[in-house]
Structure 1
Amino acid sequence: MTVLVALDSFKGSLSAREASEALAKGIRSERPNEKVIVLPVADGGDGLIDCLKDDLLADGWQVKTVLVSGPYGQNVEVPYLAKGDCAVIEMATCCGLTLVPKEQRRVIFASSYGLGEVIRDAYLNGARQIHIGLGGSATNDLGLGCMQALGVKFFDADGQPITDHISANDFCKIVRLETEDFSDRFQDLSVMAVCDVNNPLLGPTGATAVFGPQKGVQGDDLSRMQSGMAWAATILSEHFLKDFSQSISSGAAGGMGAALMWFFNAKRLKGIDAVLDMIGFDAILKQSDYVLTGEGSFDEQSLSGKAPSGVLDRASRNNKPTFLVVGSLKISIDRCKELGFANVYDLLSRSSGLTDSLQKAKELLTQIGRQWAKTYL
């Protein structure tokens, strides 16, 4: 028998690789003669580089690093993957929430300038096709900070250029932009936006309304950012003669999805599918008898576009029994089985609470691996 273990990260606890290895350890300890393949997955958000690194390095890719500005201007050393004229960048490594303690966050002042610096570095190193993983960002600046770092100029009502790293706090200052230098420099750059959300830029399901509070936006900042983003989107729509404010995934990563559409005419790729293709998932799936997948928290949002759903979809098409292993389960087991999972295991029910399950995640995953192997192998 061959078992494929393909978990996403258990946020706040384990990376995708750590979680997958812990589960595999339990299976191997119980059934040492069976083949267990560990293939960590991601849905395009934080953890993308960690997930892809081992497989792509084995295929001749290299890890490049560059020092850039973090979401609040701090220096951050950022890794990205490169091979020939291709590169893979993870937004969370340069603009991510995990880079800033909760007590120091005020999203209205956070900038995506650092992502632009990473894109520029990749371009100068020969990249002409770039996949950018959107997710886990600390920013809500409509990607304007990123574009500013790439040479786009933004001007206020007095005709003065905005020189500080642009954040959501600057939206209402902007009355026009110049893109000539940017277009001349990056006209041959093709960008793919890898993301796991479908939200538009504006409105009740938009970037600010849905993801702002998750990033810690409260009170007056929320209404200021909503009205400011609508204003900035109007300026961009008039400049490019295109309106992406209601496009699928334009609200990803604080509006970075929309920015990549406006400035690069970027193609949108469903995060989990892009990752599975890059790591050669289908070929490994075909030689497997069982699949175990999962993530830290499985809820209604997980049903569309998240890693376990993407893995289940491909496994089901190949008639491979697929099991769900999660930190906490926020929909019923019956619902999970209706979706197609053969069975479900969660860490929370095996611990004394959330904190305990986070602290003991490795141990609990190994226990689940042993139990699963006893039952199914």
Structure 2
Amino acid sequence: MGYSAVVLAAGEGKRLRPLTTHRPKPMLPAATKPILEHVFDALIDAGVTDITVVVGYRRTRVQSEFGPSYRDVPLTYVTQGKQLGSGHALLAAEQAVEGSTLVVNGDQLIDSRIIRDVVEAHDGESTAATLGLVRRADVTRYGGVLLEDGEVTEIVENPRDDRSYRLNAGVYAFEPAIFEAIRESEPRAGEQSLVDGIDTLLEDGTRVQGVVSEGTWIDATYPWDLLRIADDLLEAGEGRRIADSASVHESATVIEPVVIDDDCVVGPGAVVGPNVCLGENATVGSNVTLERSVVDTDTRVDNGATVRDCVTGRGVEIGPNSTVVGGPGDVEIGDRIHRETSLGAVLADHVRDEGGVTYEPGSVVGNGAVCHVGATVGGTLSAETEVWG
């Protein structure tokens, strides 16, 4: 039997800036497809027959990409006007929901196995909510869930103690009681959290259960996580391909695993791979060395450039003989420095370098920045910056 799902895809992903300046986190590339497309695939593969998508931040990027349906499954869009938390986002979809419904995060990679496990475990007559959980040694960055005989006893955000937590994978089956529970829960920092709604159910003595799944769950919290996601997808064999419409010169070397999308061009003498994802219409010039990088749509890596551990936005131009040295390096995100991170550089949408530019490990370059000939780039550069050699 088919069933309905709500996908929460309204958030920005602030820790992924500057890549999320012009698009929401669910639209960032996992290999070469948006994260959200992977989520839709997992839902449909698990038997979902209609999907309600909660959009908000940069919502037109989602709606213009997918339109009214995906793989013949209808998509209904509802808008969360202000991003006031995951619970608030689900409330925006209340009118579109009848009876039991699946709810998943649109900005994390899940596979259909977790969804199937949740659906099979959920009994709406005795349980108001069923949570999909995965095993993780370290849950300190996420939500930890304590289970007793399959029932959820406690949910702790960013737990620091040594109890036996399971990680909340953001895959839920809910009965309509969740909506009133969210409304009853006390907002924190002006936001209504889905987890607080589940806590309210627990406090009211309502049965909430958890199912531990062996399915895959991957989150992108920071820009370099897009490299890790691509590694995982490529190693699993997902997305590995060279599109029929791509042009790879006979003297180029492609080292698997890679994905080279539609209308890409790889020039003579170039070495591409391993673990490279070239988005649609990307161009790799002659004698380029390109390793472990996610190169987004309409990006050009010009002749003689060397690029390692790099994440680009759309429409980036890496000039001739420029070098992204590769990680590890220290990366500044917001007010926090992440030490020894495996990141060569993040180049946001429409960054342009004129050639001979060197990017120090951990460089983060904002949208539309211009790096002039021979410049050395390090640290974090804001949008529209110019760097001179």
| TM-score interval, normalised by the smaller of the two chains | 0.3 to 0.5
TM-score (ref. length: structure 2): 0.32
* TM-score using structure 1 length: 0.33
| Larger strand proportion of the pair | 2
Greater relative contact order: 1 or 2 (C-alpha under 8 angstroms, separation 6 or more)? 1
